Amino acid sequence: MDDTGAMIYIQSLIDDAKCFATVRTLRWPDGVSCPHCDSFDITKQGRDDTQPERQRYLCQSCERRFDDLTDTIFASHHQPLRVWVLCLYFMGLNLSNHQIAQELDLNKDDAQQMTSQLRQGIVRQQPSPT
Ligand SMILES: [Zn+2]
Protein backbone atom coordinates (compact mmCIF):
# COMPACT_ATOMS: atom_id res chain seq x y z
CA MET A 1 0.00 0.00 0.00
CA ASP A 2 1.30 3.44 -0.91
CA ASP A 3 -0.49 6.39 0.64
CA THR A 4 2.39 8.86 0.61
CA GLY A 5 0.23 11.34 -1.30
CA ALA A 6 -2.04 11.84 1.67
CA MET A 7 0.93 13.03 3.73
CA ILE A 8 1.68 15.97 1.48
CA TYR A 9 -0.04 19.20 2.44
CA ILE A 10 -0.02 21.35 -0.67
CA GLN A 11 -0.10 24.70 1.10
CA SER A 12 3.25 23.96 2.72
CA LEU A 13 4.81 23.55 -0.74
CA ILE A 14 3.85 27.02 -1.87
CA ASP A 15 6.22 29.94 -1.68
CA ASP A 16 4.69 33.29 -0.63
CA ALA A 17 7.22 35.23 -2.72
CA LYS A 18 6.06 33.36 -5.84
CA CYS A 19 2.41 33.97 -4.96
CA PHE A 20 2.95 37.74 -4.83
CA ALA A 21 5.03 37.58 -8.03
CA THR A 22 2.12 35.72 -9.68
CA VAL A 23 -0.35 38.41 -8.63
CA ARG A 24 1.96 41.15 -10.00
CA THR A 25 2.18 39.34 -13.34
CA LEU A 26 -1.57 38.83 -13.49
CA ARG A 27 -2.60 42.38 -12.68
CA TRP A 28 0.36 44.29 -14.18
CA PRO A 29 1.49 42.31 -17.27
CA ASP A 30 3.21 45.46 -18.62
CA GLY A 31 4.90 46.47 -15.34
CA VAL A 32 3.62 48.02 -12.13
CA SER A 33 1.23 50.93 -12.68
CA CYS A 34 -0.69 53.15 -10.27
CA PRO A 35 -4.23 51.88 -9.54
CA HIS A 36 -5.37 55.48 -8.98
CA CYS A 37 -4.02 57.30 -12.06
CA ASP A 38 -2.48 54.51 -14.24
CA SER A 39 0.98 56.12 -14.18
CA PHE A 40 4.04 53.90 -14.65
CA ASP A 41 6.18 56.39 -12.70
CA ILE A 42 6.40 54.26 -9.55
CA THR A 43 8.98 53.85 -6.80
CA LYS A 44 9.17 50.97 -4.33
CA GLN A 45 8.46 51.87 -0.72
CA GLY A 46 9.52 48.88 1.35
CA ARG A 47 7.48 45.88 2.38
CA ASP A 48 4.31 45.25 4.31
CA ASP A 49 4.83 44.91 8.08
CA THR A 50 3.07 41.58 8.44
CA GLN A 51 3.54 40.12 4.94
CA PRO A 52 7.21 40.58 4.01
CA GLU A 53 6.67 39.57 0.37
CA ARG A 54 4.00 42.21 -0.14
CA GLN A 55 5.67 45.13 -1.93
CA ARG A 56 4.59 48.73 -1.25
CA TYR A 57 4.82 51.47 -3.86
CA LEU A 58 4.56 55.23 -4.18
CA CYS A 59 3.19 56.82 -7.33
CA GLN A 60 5.33 59.79 -8.44
CA SER A 61 2.46 61.28 -10.42
CA CYS A 62 -0.36 61.42 -7.89
CA GLU A 63 1.76 60.74 -4.78
CA ARG A 64 -0.59 58.06 -3.52
CA ARG A 65 0.61 54.84 -1.94
CA PHE A 66 -0.52 51.36 -2.88
CA ASP A 67 0.75 47.79 -2.66
CA ASP A 68 0.56 44.50 -4.54
CA LEU A 69 -2.95 43.78 -3.30
CA THR A 70 -4.52 47.26 -3.44
CA ASP A 71 -7.83 47.09 -5.31
CA THR A 72 -7.68 43.32 -5.75
CA ILE A 73 -10.21 40.84 -4.43
CA PHE A 74 -7.45 39.48 -2.15
CA ALA A 75 -7.05 42.68 -0.14
CA SER A 76 -10.01 42.35 2.19
CA HIS A 77 -10.29 38.59 2.46
CA HIS A 78 -9.22 36.53 5.44
CA GLN A 79 -7.68 33.74 3.34
CA PRO A 80 -3.92 33.96 2.79
CA LEU A 81 -2.81 34.74 -0.75
CA ARG A 82 -1.42 31.25 -1.25
CA VAL A 83 -4.92 29.78 -0.84
CA TRP A 84 -6.22 32.11 -3.57
CA VAL A 85 -3.37 31.24 -5.94
CA LEU A 86 -3.93 27.53 -5.37
CA CYS A 87 -7.64 28.03 -5.91
CA LEU A 88 -6.87 29.67 -9.26
CA TYR A 89 -4.57 26.77 -10.12
CA PHE A 90 -7.21 24.17 -9.30
CA MET A 91 -9.79 26.08 -11.32
CA GLY A 92 -7.39 25.80 -14.26
CA LEU A 93 -7.45 22.03 -13.74
CA ASN A 94 -11.26 22.12 -13.81
CA LEU A 95 -11.68 20.86 -10.28
CA SER A 96 -15.16 21.29 -8.82
CA ASN A 97 -15.81 23.65 -5.91
CA HIS A 98 -16.24 20.56 -3.77
CA GLN A 99 -12.80 19.19 -4.73
CA ILE A 100 -11.17 22.61 -4.27
CA ALA A 101 -12.73 22.91 -0.81
CA GLN A 102 -11.31 19.50 0.11
CA GLU A 103 -7.82 20.20 -1.24
CA LEU A 104 -7.55 23.58 0.49
CA ASP A 105 -9.37 22.61 3.66
CA LEU A 106 -12.06 25.24 3.12
CA ASN A 107 -15.74 24.97 3.72
CA LYS A 108 -17.82 24.61 0.57
CA ASP A 109 -19.36 28.10 0.83
CA ASP A 110 -15.91 29.76 1.03
CA ALA A 111 -14.67 27.79 -1.98
CA GLN A 112 -17.82 28.71 -3.91
CA GLN A 113 -17.44 32.40 -3.07
CA MET A 114 -13.74 32.43 -3.97
CA THR A 115 -14.16 30.74 -7.34
CA SER A 116 -17.00 33.04 -8.34
CA GLN A 117 -14.91 36.11 -7.39
CA LEU A 118 -11.88 34.78 -9.27
CA ARG A 119 -13.99 34.24 -12.39
CA GLN A 120 -14.82 37.94 -12.41
CA GLY A 121 -11.13 38.92 -12.33
CA ILE A 122 -8.66 39.65 -9.58
CA VAL A 123 -8.83 43.44 -9.83
CA ARG A 124 -11.91 44.90 -8.23
CA GLN A 125 -14.25 46.61 -10.68
CA GLN A 126 -14.14 50.36 -10.17
CA PRO A 127 -17.53 52.02 -9.92
CA SER A 128 -17.83 54.26 -12.97
CA PRO A 129 -17.56 57.96 -12.14
CA THR A 130 -20.86 59.76 -12.09
ZN1 LIG B 1 -0.90 57.64 -9.32
* Residues, CB-to-ion distance under 5 Å, ligand 1: 34, 36-37, 39, 59, 61-62
Average pLDDT, the chain: 90
What is the band of 75 on the pLDDT scale with cuts at 50, 70, 90?
confident
Alpha carbon of 56 to ligand 1 centroid (Å) = 13
Instruction: State in Å: Cα 22 to ligand 1 middle.
Output: 22
Task: Give the tens place of pLDDT for each residue, 89-128.
Answer: 999 999 999 999 999 999 999 999 999 999 999 998 765 5
Cβ neighbours of 74 (radius 10 Å): 24
